[in-house]
């Protein structure tokens, strides 16, 4: 549904006649209607053809075809197709389409805010990624993070991070300090907000919840995402998503303010 509505919105914006999207004599309207309704599976090649006819740039084509479940040779994440599990490809596609994201991480720095060295050490330390795939997996994570600094369509990110994540020793103090300095730098971007949640700040609604993300979209309702050990749970039911959003609101209220959080991160990094 998310993909279909994005296609419909783009085509309406540029006012492209459906007959211009197919070959001479081809009936495009029924097929296009199925794609935009979201009731049937959409195929990457069909999506790419519509987007190119609407004048979409390659990054937008990449994000939409990713959500359809396959990367072609031109997609930005094609080089990592064999190291990214299928259940995570869906999330990457949704993240690429989202306008905003709220993320809660209690024990590690969120992936979009990680340095390469930190991500490398963390990936090797978990044991879930084969050693010979670790470097490519990290480079994939870094490629995703470029969305935060995308000049055309930057992702608005609000991250609440447990203080334990700031103190976690990952490959020695040097890597940890460099990660904290990077976190401060990222928190100064106009589209990135970082808050730190400390034990002394008191109880909060995420006490029994691990990492979760709420993705916001411009034309469709939000989606919540929570990772499991070998998969993920996607919540689309409005009541379920509302629960995650309420937890996020509670975390924002309990955690340190963005300014105080930045000061604490600087202190832990040993910066002036």
Q: Rounded to a whole number, what is the distance in angstroms from the first to the last CA of the chain?
A: 49
Q: How many domains does the chain have?
A: 2
Strands 212-216 and 156-162, bridge-based pairing: unpaired
In a domain, 232, yes or no: yes
Q: Are residues 70 and 93 in the same domain?
A: no
Q: Are residues 42 and 91 in the same domain?
A: no
pLDDT value, residue 265: 97
Q: Are residues 207 and 245 in the same domain?
A: yes
Sign of CA dihedral 147, 151, 155, 161: positive
Contact present, 134 and 105 (Cβ < 8 Å): no
CATH number at residue 61: 1.10.260.40
In a domain, 81, yes or no: no
pLDDT tens over the chain, length 272 residues: 567 666 766 666 666 655 555 544 444 555 566 666 555 566 777 777 777 777 777 777 776 776 665 544 445 545 555 556 666 777 877 888 889 999 999 999 998 999 988 988 887 766 555 555 455 556 777 778 888 998 888 999 999 999 999 999 888 889 999 999 999 999 999 999 999 999 999 999 998 778 899 999 887 789 999 987 777 888 988 999 999 999 999 999 999 999 999 999 999 998 54
H or E segment to which residue 38 belongs: none
């Amino acid at each position: 549904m998310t993909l279909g509505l994005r296609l419909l919105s783009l085509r309406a914006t540029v006012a492209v006649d459906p007959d211009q999207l197919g070959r001479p004599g081809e009936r495009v309207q029924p097929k296009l209607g199925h794609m935009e309704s979201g009731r049937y599976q959409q195929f990457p090649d069909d999506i790419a053809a519509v987007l190119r006819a609407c004048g979409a740039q390659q990054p937008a084509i990449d994000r939409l075809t990713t959500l359809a479940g396959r990367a072609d040779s031109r997609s930005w994440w094609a080089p990592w197709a064999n190291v990214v599990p299928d259940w995570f490809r869906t999330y990457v596609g949704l993240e690429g389409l989202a306008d905003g994201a709220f993320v809660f991480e209690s024990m590690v720095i969120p992936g979009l805010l990680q340095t390469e060295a930190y991500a490398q050490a963390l990936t090797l330390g978990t044991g879930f990624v084969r050693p010979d795939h670790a470097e490519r997996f990290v480079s994939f994570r870094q490629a995703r993070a470029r969305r935060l600094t995308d000049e055309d369509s930057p992702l608005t990110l609000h991250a609440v991070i447990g203080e334990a994540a700031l103190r976690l020793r990952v490959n020695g103090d040097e890597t940890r300090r460099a990660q904290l300095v990077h976190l401060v730098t990222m928190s100064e971007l106009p589209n990135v907000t970082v808050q730190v949640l400390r034990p002394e700040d008191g109880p909060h609604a995420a006490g029994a919840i691990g990492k979760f993300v709420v993705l916001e979209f411009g034309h469709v309702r939000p989606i919540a995402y929570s990772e499991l050990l070998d998969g993920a749970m996607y919540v689309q039911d409005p009541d379920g998503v509302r629960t995650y959003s309420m937890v996020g609101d509670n975390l924002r209220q309990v955690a340190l303010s963005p300014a105080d959080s930045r000061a604490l991160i600087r202190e832990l990094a040993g910066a002036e």
